[in-house]
Amino acid sequence: MFDDLRRKFETDGYVVIEGFFAQNEVEEMRKQAEKLIEHMPDESNRTIFSTTDSEGQQNKDKYFLDSGDKVSYFFEAEALGPNGELLVDKHLALNKIGHALHELDPVFRKYTLDERVKEAVFQLGFEEPIVPQSMYIFKNPGVGSEVTAHQDASYLYTEPLKLAGFWIAVDDATIENGCLWFARGSHKSGVHRRYIKNPDPDSEQRLVYTSPPPFYAKNNFVAVPVPKGSCVLIHGQVVHFSEANRSQKPRHAYTFHVVEQKNTQYSKDNWLQPGQRPFLNLYKN
């Protein structure tokens, strides 16, 4: 399973491991997400999540900024009315749940701390890995929104940079339902921009990008469809995106990020900061 893992990761910026989790294991993740849906907030606390609007609500919304050590719910723009009322069935309304599932939810914590995860992290050369965030991403049929081209390091920056994402396919991810696309080798071009806490205390925007979005030509990207149960390992600097899901099939995924703690500095400008507890240490749990 782990043959040539680090070489492929460092060459291409991503690695696909099919069969990383068994079918019944990803189904347990799906069922746990369904249980979480039963505890969704009422209309007054519903927050839209979007990657296509840099002036969007999450930039101004304290709910987003304070979600790092909680289980928080983010809705699709097309799923809510002007007063937060649901326009679609609640099981189709969510963009994602984040950002502390790996700590606070027993099912997602179990799979984050799985020995297969630890072995993959070890093979990538991490010595003191910590997990700052996790998300269950829905990308539901018909309403699952686009995720624009980006680098994960824009959001979870360290010096020197050592960041890897684990993206677990809960469904078959296809071109039709919004699989990942990668610009192979783009992780060798540095961090293109940062997403940071706004240094201007008088601004309404709590979080800002340090520069406008770069232009990425689509012909530089390759689609990476994967079967259910696969793990896609994502280098922190590789540029990737996913298109909207306009198909009739879901494309759920569980994802979390690992950063190196040894001899690195986690940026104090990052939107996500440790709460009352330090970030989860992968090897010590």
| All domains in the chain, ordered by first residue | 5-281 (2.60.120.620)
Beta bridge partners of 98: 72, 135
**Encoded tokens for 113:** 């701390």
φ and ψ at 197, to 5 degrees? -65, 135
- Residue of 135 and 48 predicted with greater confidence: 135
The predicted structure's pLDDT at residue 193: 97
The predicted structure's pLDDT at residue 45: 60
- Tell me the C-alpha distance between 65 and 241, whole Å: 23
Q: What sign does the CA torsion over 39, 46, 140, 157 have?
A: negative
pLDDT digits (tens, 9 = 90+) for 179-199: 999 999 999 999 999 999 888
Between the alpha carbon of residue 283 and those of residues 105, 127, 160, the distances in Å are 18, 9, 21
The predicted structure's pLDDT at residue 80: 77
Q: To 5 degrees, how large is the angle CA 192–CA 75–CA 179?
A: 55
Lowest mean pLDDT among 112-121, 140-149, 246-255: 140-149
Over 90: is that where the pLDDT of 17 sits?
yes
pLDDT digits (tens, 9 = 90+) for 163-175: 999 999 999 999 9
Structure letter (DSSP) for residue 132:
E
| Average model confidence (pLDDT) across the chain | 91
**Mean pLDDT of all residues in 85-93:** 85
**Mean pLDDT of all residues in 22-50:** 84
